[in-house]
Amino acid sequence: MKVHQLHVYWSEEKKNNYIRHATREYEIHKSLDHPRVVKLMDVFEIDKNSFCTVLEYCRGSDLDEYLKIHKVLSERESRNVISQVFSGLSYLNQQENKIIHYDLKPGNILLSDGQ
């Protein structure tokens, strides 16, 4: 679950633009179904300046956390991670309207137990 805060000092126009963009993004995300793309379960408003997104639970950690502990990946592990990331990105690229991730980083690469 992630809480999104709209800055209270934003103009109403900026808030509305952000909400419109986020709503479109979440509608697209809800339609995706691939084992390498985390599912969006729900989006709901908390109050006029915040809303929440609920994502599929993924047991394990992320690549950033893993690298902080282990420092490096073996070549085999690296190939496995890259292959799975490419699988998810390829799926996004195969959509009728191509989807760009925009925030691909180790902290957003989830490592599920045993995968």
pLDDT in tens, 37-52: 999 998 888 888 888 8
Task: List the domains of the chain with CATH numbers.
Answer: 1-57 (3.30.200.20), 59-115 (no CATH)
Q: Which amino acid is at 66?
A: Y
In the residue annotation, 103 being an active-site residue is answered as yes
Q: Which residue has the tokens 């179904």?
A: 33
**Count of other CB atoms within 10 angstroms of residue 100:** 9
pLDDT digits (tens, 9 = 90+) for 16-33: 898 888 888 899 999 999
Residue 13 contacts by C-beta under 8 Å, 6 or more apart in sequence?
none
Average pLDDT, the chain: 91
For residue 113, pLDDT beyond 80: no
Break the chain down into helix, strand, coil percent, rounded to 5: 45, 25, 35
**Count of other CB atoms within 10 angstroms of residue 111:** 20
- What proportion of the chain, given as a percentage, has pLDDT over 90? 57
Q: Spot the catalytic one: 33, 47, 103, 113.
A: 103
